[in-house]
Structure 1
Amino acid sequence: MELGIGMFGDLQVNAKGEVQPAQQRLQEIIEEIKLMDEVGLDFYGIGEHHRPDYAVSTPEIILAAASTVTKNIKLGSAVSVLSSSDPVKLYQSFATIDLISNGRAELMAGRGSFIESFPLYGFNLQDYDELYEEKLELLLKINKEQKISWKGKFRPELANQEILPRAVDNNLKIWVAIGGTPESVERAGRLGLPVIFAIIGGNPASFKPLFDYYKKVYQAYGHDMAKFEVGVHMHSFFGENSAETADYYYSLYSSQMDRVGRSRGWPPYQKNQFDFGRSKDGALIIGDANEAIDKILAMEAMFGLTRFSAHMDVGGPSHSAMMKSIEIFGTKIAPKVREALK
């Protein structure tokens, strides 16, 4: 099972409501990715957002910068909002990162749980599902074929167009992110694509039928089980002391949940939600190394994972706290998880 970190590029917000400059956060992110590589984590993913509380709107720029200061870690989006992107340009960007990084680039496609990119780039939310279906079809075609002839509803026609540059070995790794709808699971299984399930609330066990359905569809369409890949993305943060880590992180986490929740009609985030999330049956992995090891191994046993992604920057922890959390993940948690899974 691969172990890595996902981020959204949350900006720190102080007690006065002042937001950290994006310039500072972007430079911190590069330092954090460099440390991930140094402590031996397997992959890094960064999300695309177009909001004042996030620093990153173009994951490919961050990944290109990170590719020059890392050696081994895989570098991907988490996610790229495919529905409001041009698949041609997106493929070219990630193929370029793949070439710079000697084959370490990945692209994770998603429909977008945040919708700011749709009006920003001139797309109608009423076309939400159709946009994703069409653009995923085109992206996968581009990944297989250098010259493309294609016609769709939302993008100008391509007539024997050559798409360059090409990824290393002419094969860019493309994942899809799934929030929990059976339709998304069926599509991924039918296409034989590796998937990441975002489990950010409730009891993770409730997702088990979706994992089983994905595997069933994947097999039903004759895809090679030797290439079967499935992962989870879970809110995580690690420290030396469990109670101190939880106390530090709660105010940051709850504040961000409330910032996002105000635009979605969520009630204020409560401490009992946080406490349940940290419990054995919850979806938060926030505490010390031993707690994290037990919970990650429980997720692997429940779902048959090939990848675990710790979403580590929710609410904008300080750079020093992030660096410590990354160090603990790479030096204390990852070795024990890998040893247990031998």
Structure 2
Amino acid sequence: MNTKDIEFGLDSFGEVSNESSGRLLSDAETVRLMIDEAVLAEAVGIDSYNIGEHYRPQHVDSAGHVILAAIAGRTERIRLGTSVTVLSTQDPVRLYTEFATLDAVSNGRAQLIVGRASSTESFPLFGFDLADYETLFEEKLDLLTRLLRDQPVTWSGTVRPPLTDQHVHPAVAPGGIPTWVGVGGTPQSVIRAARYGLPLMLAIIGGRPTRFAPYVDLYKRALDQFGHSPLPVGMHSLGFVARTDEEARSAYWPQWNAVMDMASRERGFSPPSARQYEAEIAEGALFVGSPETVAAKIAASIRALGLSRFDLKYDIGRLQRELRAASIELYGREVIPRVRELLEEPTVQPVPSDQRVEAAKRAGSRD
């Protein structure tokens, strides 16, 4: 595995932060904090900084492209994208112009992850009907891919006015803007990404990451059936890095618990528990711990799923800005280099049980 080709990203949902004094930052202060955190991410060697899209209190990521443009003016190398763009409630033409402009401002560093949305507050806000959930995404993804790949565009559908031999500017470089499809775990979404020939981003926020292996296999088979060459697969998960496992667990727990408790009440699943939290850290989708612990878990996930990209969502609840900064620095300076080291080590093939028994007998005879 060529570890130089693996992208390690940092994802934000624009969650409002606290100071160590307990003062809650304003929305405007949090926007500026995100810009500072992206500058720090570049300084410590992280490959990309990506912003979500939400329209709810305590989130300031509703205009991520504006924040990314501000980051572009203070950075030189780091790629700038979305951890999810809710394409269903965006206009593909406007989205294209925003990110083509960001690509120009940043000298070719823009990228996108588009999804259907698990948080649906943008539908009523912008006047869309949830009954059109599938149609909106399907048609808008079709138009967006055409805009990125083959202008002028002639297109018609049911969700927006048609286009006839339309050029949209600014033009992007050959190959367009790297655009991934974010998937939460439905086979239909995996197949759709393959049909359009777009890289797959798995949003894994609970349970063992290895349970997504069948989706990766399905994606590869579908790519082949649709006549596409192999494409990258990425993974987005929540996490937090501190100097020790105990420090990380204790700092992250109250924020994770509060966020998951609110989600459980909104979506009707069981409230979180300390036992569930520990299980998610030990074997599930929470990448929380010391640099060595988090690096080992990321490396194992990359191997198991054949990933080309791993994005760590670092902000959650009202996590203190000082803790956020420390986590970003440890992720860039220690976790990512250690993951690359681990991936360069040869994998050890398991010894069949009968061979282990014989080896134990031989060892015993030498004692």
TM range (shorter): over 0.9
Tell me what 2:258 maps to. 255
User: Equivalent of 2:137, from 108, 113, 132?
Assistant: 132
1:31 and 2:36 aligned: yes
2:271 to 255, 268, 271: 268
Q: Deviations over 1:17-58 (max 9, x none)?
A: 986411111111000000111111111111000001211101
Report the Cα distance in structure 2 between the residues aligned to 1:13 and 1:74, rounded to whole angstroms: 27
In structure 1, the partner of 2:303 is 301
- Is the Cα contact below 8 Å between 2:54 and 2:119 reproduced in 1? yes
Partner of 2:331: 329
* CA deviation vs aligned residue, 1:106-159 (integer Å, no higher than 9, x gap): 011110111010111111000000000000000001112232221110101212
Match of 1:64 among 63, 69, 77: 69
> Out of 213, 218, 236, which is 1:208 matched to?
213
Distance in 1 (CA, whole Å) between partners of 2:226 and 2:204 is 26
Which structure's CA Rg is the greater one?
A: 2
How many Å separate the matches in 1 of 2:243 and 2:7? Answer: 23
SS at match of 1:197: strand
3-state SS in 1 of match to 2:159: coil
Give structure 2 stretches of 5+ with no counterpart: 1-5, 345-367
User: Does 1:119 pair with 2:124?
Assistant: yes
For 1:64-98, what per-residue CA distance to the aligned partner results, in whole angstroms no more than 9, with x for missing partners? Answer: 11111111111101111000000000000000000
Query: CA–CA distance in 1 between the matches of 2:24 and 2:259?
Result: 12
Cα drift, residue 208 of structure 1 = 1.1
Cα separation, 2, equivalents of 1:201 and 1:25: 27
Measure the CA separation in 2 of the matches of 1:156 and 1:119: 20
Q: Alignment partner for residue 97 of structure 2, among 92, 108, 121?
A: 92
- In the aligned structure 2, how far is the partner of 1:175 from the partner of 1:259? 29
Question: Is 1:153 aligned to residue 161 of structure 2?
Answer: no
Q: Give the C-alpha shift of residue 169 in structure 1.
A: 3.2
Identity %: 40
Displacement, 1:234?
0.9
Q: Give the TM-score normalised by structure 2.
A: 0.89
Q: 1:102 aligns with which of 82, 85, 107?
A: 107
Could you tell me which residue of structure 2 aligns to residue 315 of structure 1? 317
Query: Distance in 2 between the 1:328 and 1:274 partners?
Result: 22
Q: State the Cα distance separating 1:222 from its structure 2 match.
A: 2.1
Equivalences for residues 173-184 of structure 1 within 5 A = 173-184=178-189
Candidates 155, 160, 169, aligned match of 2:174: 169
Opposite residue 312 of structure 1, the aligned amino acid is Y
Deviation at 1:244, TM superposition (A): 1.4
2-structure distance, mates of 1:101, 1:252 = 33
CA distance in 2, matches of 1:316, 1:99: 34
Q: Distance in 2 between matches of 1:166 and 1:270?
A: 50
Aligned counterpart for 2:241 among listed residues 220, 238, 243: 238
Instruction: Give the residue type in structure 2 aligned to 1:321.
Output: L
Q: Mark the CA change 1:271 to 1:13 in structure 2 (over 3 Å): closer, same or farther.
A: farther
CA contact (8 A) 1:146 1:164 kept: no
1:284 paired residue among 271, 283, 286:
286
State the Cα distance separating 1:161 from its structure 2 match.
2.2
Q: Aligned equivalents of 1:341 and 1:247: distance in 2?
A: 29
Deviation at 1:217, TM superposition (A): 0.9
Q: Give the letter for the 1:58 counterpart.
A: A
SS in structure 2 opposite 1:70?
coil
The 8 Å contact of residues 233 and 309 in structure 1, kept in 2 or not, is answered as yes
TM-score (norm 1): 0.95
Between the aligned partners of 2:251 and 2:269, the Cα distance in structure 1 is 23
Measure the CA separation in 2 of the matches of 1:229 and 1:160: 31
The gaps in structure 1 that reach 5 residues or longer are none
